[in-house]
Structure 1
Amino acid sequence: MEKVKMKLLYSDLKPELDLIEKELEQAVDSESPLLNDASLHLLQAGGKRIRPVFVLLAGKFGTYNIDVMKQVAVPLELIHMASLVHDDVIDDSEMRRGQLTVKAEWNNSVAMYTGDFILGRALEYITDIDSPRLHQVLSQTMIEVCRGEIIQIEDKYKLDQNLRDYLRRIKRKTALLISSSCELGAMVAGADEKTIAHLRRFGYFIGMSFQIIDDILDFTSSDEELGKPAGSDFIQGNITLPILYARNNPEIYRLLKDSLQKELTDAERLHIVKVIRDSSAIDDAKKVSEKYLNKALGELDHLPKGQASKTMRKIAFFIGKRKF
Structure 2
Amino acid sequence: MSAVSALISHSAIVHLHNLLADDMQRVNQATLGHAQSKVGLVEKVAQHLLCSGGKRLRPLLTIACSHLFRDQPGYAVQLAAAVELIHSATLLHDDVIDESDLRRGQATANRLWGNVPSILVGDFLFSKAFQLMVEAENQKVLEVLSKASTRIAEGEVLQLELLGDLNLSLENYLEIVGAKTASLFAAACQVGGMIVDMPVWLEDDLYQFGYNLGIAFQITDDILDYGPGGEKLGKSVGNDFFEGKVTLPVLLMCQNPDFFPVWESWFDQPSRNEDDFKAAQNLLQGQNMLETCYEYTKPFTEKALHHLSKMPAGVMRDALNALISWI
Assess same fold via TM > 0.5: yes
Deviation digits for residues 77-121 of structure 1, max 9, x if unmatched?
A: 100000011001111111111111111122111111111111111
Gaps of 5+ in 1: 320-324
Count of residue pairs the alignment pairs up: 319
Equivalent position to 1:317, from 302, 305, 325:
325
Give the letter aligned to residue 245 of structure 1: L
Equivalent position to 1:33, from 40, 46, 53: 40
SS in 2 for 1:118: helix
Deviation at 1:223, TM superposition (A): 7.5
SS of the residue 2:135 aligns to: coil
Return the match for 2:184 from 169, 177, 190.
Answer: 177
- 2:196 equivalent in structure 1: 189
8 Å contact kept, 1:56–1:185: yes
Partner residue, 1:8: 14
Instruction: Specify the alignment match of 1:137 in structure 2.
Output: 144
Shift, 1:124, TM fit: 1.3
Moved >3 Å (runs of 4+) = 63-67, 221-229
Name 1:97's counterpart in structure 2: 104
Q: Pick closer, same or farther for the CA change 1:222–1:192 going to 2, 3 Å.
A: closer
Give the superposition deviation at 1:261: 4.3
Are residues 2 and 290 of structure 1, via their aligned partners in 2, closer, same or farther at CA, if it must alter by over 3 Å? Answer: farther
SS of match in other structure, 1:250: coil
Describe the shift of the 1:105–1:223 C-alpha distance in structure 2 as closer, same or farther (beyond 3 A). farther
Structure 2 residue 308 is the aligned partner of structure 1 residue 285: no
Amino acid at match of 2:82: P
Unmatched 5+ residue regions in structure 2? 1-5
1:150 to 148, 157, 175: 157
Given the alignment of the two structures, is residue 70 of structure 1 paired with residue 83 of structure 2, yes or no?
Answer: no
- Please say if 1:121 is aligned against 2:128: yes
Asked if residue 236 in structure 1 is aligned to residue 257 in structure 2, the reply is no
Alpha-carbon offset, residue 296 of structure 1? 0.7
TM-score (norm 2): 0.93
Identity over aligned pairs, percent: 28
Q: How far apart in 2 are the matches of 1:267 and 1:223? A: 18
For residues 43-58 of structure 1, what are the structure 2 equivalents within 5 Å? 43-58=50-65
Distance 1:313 1:111, change over 3 A: same
* CA gap 1:107/1:227 in 2 versus in 1, 3 angstroms: farther
Cα pair distance change 1:112/1:8, threshold 3 Å? same
Letter in 2 for 1:217: L
Change (3 A) 1:148 1:112: same
Task: Report the Cα offset of residue 145 of structure 1.
Answer: 1.0
Counterpart residue type for residue 83 of structure 2: L
Deviation at 1:225, TM superposition (A): 4.1
2:324 counterpart SS class: helix
C-alpha distance in 1, partners of 2:39/2:159?
32
Match of 2:267 among 256, 260, 269: 260
CA shift at 1:48, angstroms? 0.9
- 2: CA distance, partners of 1:48 / 1:236: 24
Aligned mate of 1:303, from 305, 311, 316: 311
Write the distance in 2 (CA, Å) between the matches of 1:55 and 1:224.
27
- CA distance in structure 2 between the partners assigned to 1:226 and 1:96 by the alignment: 13
Residues 9 and 314, structure 1, Cα contact 8 Å, conserved in 2: no
Deviation, 1:31, is 1.2
Question: 1:215 aligns to what?
Answer: 222
